[in-house]
């Protein structure tokens, strides 16, 4: 039996391209995880459309494939997923769907599930796949495939070692990803994590995580790559939503990562955490130790942090009060002092946001020298409490999933029109990334110049951040061009 696992990507100006991800991306672990759960006697091939988009003529090419598994995590890819499913079913393949969006739509928008997914699916896997995928494979083999598979949430020890050989990771800036934990119980109203992964935080055994990392580093060290490839392969992205949530686990993880860094000096890593991680301490050998110091020692290069807003009211409106704007400047400075750069997740369009929000965010990011920021329009994703609230309030105006990508206003904000929100969002994006001067204001300043003088290798890092910023500028320009109708 042969399975083709497909991660869809939209084929338009707003999807990420292969070139984009060579500046900004890291591979998803989904295909590699499902491959790790698949019995060895089953052939498994994976395609991520970001890297290898499927053309119309490709669908007939997979003559030796029996089953197509479609991973639909990101809502904005839903229409493309349907197209792929239709094409493959026309060629007689069995099509199985799974992922965050599929589960959310089944659980919270059943009528849409029946219309948009059920007619194009031979089977659907809800929630996490660890406990049911092997059962499904058995049913496929015996010709007893059921329509719906859902299991209890797996314990972390059920998460298999990822089979990264099934992925084409070469085009990504960071080629290796790993997962140590699942979930985040903080339950911010707009976030899909708590509803999908549940209110518990599950942690993998640190030794199995570090064994996987060492395996990756040993494999790449064995190859005869040039220095740029060797550098790229020594970077590892944690896909965990909040890797530092359990501070004691995280401290142990950092200590083990430090040992890996001793063995592989080029090893560096990045992940996601909350800003208040900077205040967390643990007691090690009777001594109070800051997590950030352990992160620094273990080779942490950068963290994605959901700062979301500089307005206390906006943060409160979505239950993210643990982010405290009056502390932001100091918290960011402390990360910087530890040599850890920040990718700030920022959101515009909260109900408390007025016209000044765009200017405030620009000033905040520039003043605090935030190296990079991913700005999104607030999006009520299916399955979230925010979606349910907005639906009840009757302010949803756009039901096309393709627009649930953080770049469209799919609801009517209270204090500005949806058109104004989108236009100002792109203007902010362009202001931050569209000019070298604006980029330089965040990257080149007395303290960063001093760092380069002390350690010239820092220059390469600042240069690479500059290129990443430029790429974001190009992405904004591409999207703005394709949406000239609304942006004039």
Q: Which one among 28, 274, 376, 424 touches ligand SF4, defined by CB under 6 A? A: 274
Beta strands in 369-488 (DSSP E): 372-377
Strands (E), 378-488: none
Report 232-251 residues binding ligand SF4 (CB under 6 A): 241-242
Q: Which does 274 bind (CB under 5 to 8 A by kind): ligand B12, ligand SF4, none?
A: ligand SF4
Contact 363, 392 (CB under 8 A): no
3-class secondary structure, 301: strand
Binding site partner of 130, from ligand SF4, ligand B12, none, Cβ cut-off 5-8 A by kind? ligand B12
> CB-wise, 49 or 241, nearer to ligand SF4?
241
Q: Cβ of residue 480: shortest distance to ligand SF4, in angstroms? A: 27
| Binders in 419-438 for ligand SF4, by CB under 6 A | none
Q: What angle do CA 228, 231, 233 make, to 5 degrees?
A: 110
Q: 4 or 347, CB closer to ligand SF4?
A: 347
Q: How many helices (H) and strands (E) does the chain have?
A: 20, 16
State in angstroms the smallest separation of the CB of 131 from ligand SF4.
23
Angle between helices 436-443 and 418-433 (to 10 degrees): 70
Applying CB under 6 A, which of residues 306, 349, 406, 473 lies at the interface with ligand SF4?
A: 306
Decide if 344 contacts 305 (C-beta within 8 A).
yes
Q: Strand, coil or helix: what is 150? A: strand
Per CB under 6 A, 71 contacts ligand SF4: no
Could you tell which of ligand B12, ligand SF4, none binds residue 242, using a CB distance below 5 to 8 A set by kind? ligand SF4
Please count the residues of this chain forming the interface with ligand SF4, following the rule CB under 6 A.
Answer: 11
The helix (H) or strand (E) run that includes residue 292 is helix 291-297
DSSP 8-state assignment for residue 411: B
Is 261 within 8 Å of 299 (Cβ atoms)? Answer: yes
The residue to which tokens 């550098």 are assigned: 231
Residue 271 DSSP code: E
User: Helices 357-367 and 436-443: crossing angle, nearest 10°?
Assistant: 50
The binder of 353, among ligand SF4, ligand B12, none, by C-beta within 5 to 8 A per type, is none
Element (H, E) at 320: none
CA distance 194 to 421: 27
Q: How far is CA 461 from CA 72, 107, 267, 340, in A?
A: 34, 44, 14, 11
Nearer to ligand SF4, 184 or 340 (CB): 184
Q: Should residue 187 be labelled a site residue for ligand SF4 when binding is judged by CB under 6 A? A: yes
Among ligand B12, ligand SF4, none, what binds residue 306 when CB lies within 5 to 8 Å by partner kind?
ligand SF4
Nearest residue (CB) to ligand B12, 69 versus 439: 69
Residue in 7, 186, 260, 375 binding ligand SF4, rule: CB under 6 A:
186
Rounded CA separation 484/488 (Å): 6
443 binds ligand SF4 (CB under 6 A): no
Residue length, the chain? 488
Q: For ligand SF4, give the closer residue by CB, 257 or 273.
A: 273
Stretch that binds ligand SF4, among 186-194, 213-221, 380-388, 455-463 (CB under 6 A): 186-194
CA distance 266 to 218: 12
How far is CA 7 from its chain centroid?
14
* Residue span 190-219 as binding mask against ligand SF4, x where in contact by CB under 6 A, dash where not: -x-xx-------------------------
Which element (helix H / strand E) includes 348? strand 341-348
Summarize as ranges the residues that interact with ligand B12 (CB under 6 A). 7, 14-16, 25, 27-30, 33-34, 48, 50, 69, 71, 73-76, 96, 98-101, 125, 128-130, 133, 179, 191-193, 239, 241, 374, 376, 381, 405-406
CB of residue 220 vs ligand B12: minimum separation in angstroms?
19
Please report whether residue 184 would count as binding ligand SF4 according to CB under 6 A.
yes
User: Where does this chain bind ligand SF4 (CB under 6 A)?
Assistant: 184, 186-188, 191, 193-194, 241-242, 274, 306
């Amino acid at each position: 039996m042969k399975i083709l696992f497909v991660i869809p990507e939209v084929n338009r100006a707003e999807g990420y391209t292969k070139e984009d991800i060579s500046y900004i991306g890291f591979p998803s672990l989904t295909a590699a995880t499902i491959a790790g759960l698949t019995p060895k006697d089953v052939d498994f091939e994976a395609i991520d459309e970001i890297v290898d988009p499927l053309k119309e003529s490709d669908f007939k090419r997979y003559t030796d494939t029996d089953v197509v598994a479609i991973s639909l995590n990101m809502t904005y890819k839903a229409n493309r997923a349907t197209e792929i499913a239709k094409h493959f079913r026309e060629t007689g393949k069995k099509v199985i769907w799974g992922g965050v969006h599929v589960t959310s739509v089944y659980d919270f928008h059943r009528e849409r599930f029946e219309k948009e997914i059920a007619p194009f699916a031979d089977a659907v896997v809800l929630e996490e796949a660890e406990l049911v995928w092997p059962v499904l494979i058995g049913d496929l083999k015996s010709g007893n495939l059921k329509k719906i598979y859902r299991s209890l949430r797996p314990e972390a020890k059920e998460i298999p070692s990822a089979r990264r050989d099934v992925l084409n990771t070469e085009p990504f800036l960071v080629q290796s990803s790993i997962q140590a934990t699942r979930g985040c119980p903080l339950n911010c109203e707009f976030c899909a994590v708590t509803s999908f992964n549940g209110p518990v935080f599950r942690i993998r055994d640190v030794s199995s995580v570090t064994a996987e990392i060492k395996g990756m580093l040993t494999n790449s060290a064995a190859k005869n790559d040039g220095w740029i490839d060797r550098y790229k392969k020594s970077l590892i992205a944690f896909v965990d939503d909040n890797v530092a949530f359990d501070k004691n686990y995280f401290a142990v993880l950092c200590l083990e990562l430090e040992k890996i860094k001793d063995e592989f000096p080029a090893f560096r890593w990045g992940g996601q955490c909350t800003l208040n991680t900077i205040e967390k301490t643990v007691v090690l050998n009777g001594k109070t130790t800051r997590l950030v110091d352990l992160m620094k020692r273990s080779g942490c290069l950068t963290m994605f942090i959901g700062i979301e807003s500089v307005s206390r009211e906006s943060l409160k409106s979505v239950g993210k009060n643990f982010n405290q704007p009056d502390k932001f400047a100091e918290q960011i400075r402390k990360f910087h002092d530890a040599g850890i750069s920040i990718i700030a997740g920022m959101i515009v369009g909260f109900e408390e946001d007025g016209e000044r929000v765009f200017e405030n965010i620009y000033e905040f990011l520039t003043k605090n020298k935030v190296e990079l920021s991913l700005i999104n329009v607030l999006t009520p994703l299916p399955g979230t409490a925010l979606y349910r609230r907005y639906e009840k309030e009757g302010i949803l105006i756009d039901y096309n999933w393709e627009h649930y990508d953080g770049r469209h206003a799919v609801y009517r904000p209270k204090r500005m029109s949806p058109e104004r929100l989108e236009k100002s969002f792109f203007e902010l994006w362009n202001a931050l990334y569209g000019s070298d001067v604006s980029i330089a204001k965040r990257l080149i300043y007395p303290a960063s110049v001093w760092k380069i003088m002390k350690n010239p290798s820092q220059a390469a890092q600042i240069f690479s951040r500059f290129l990443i910023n430029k790429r974001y500028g190009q992405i904004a320009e591409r999207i703005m061009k394709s949406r000239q109708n609304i942006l004039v």
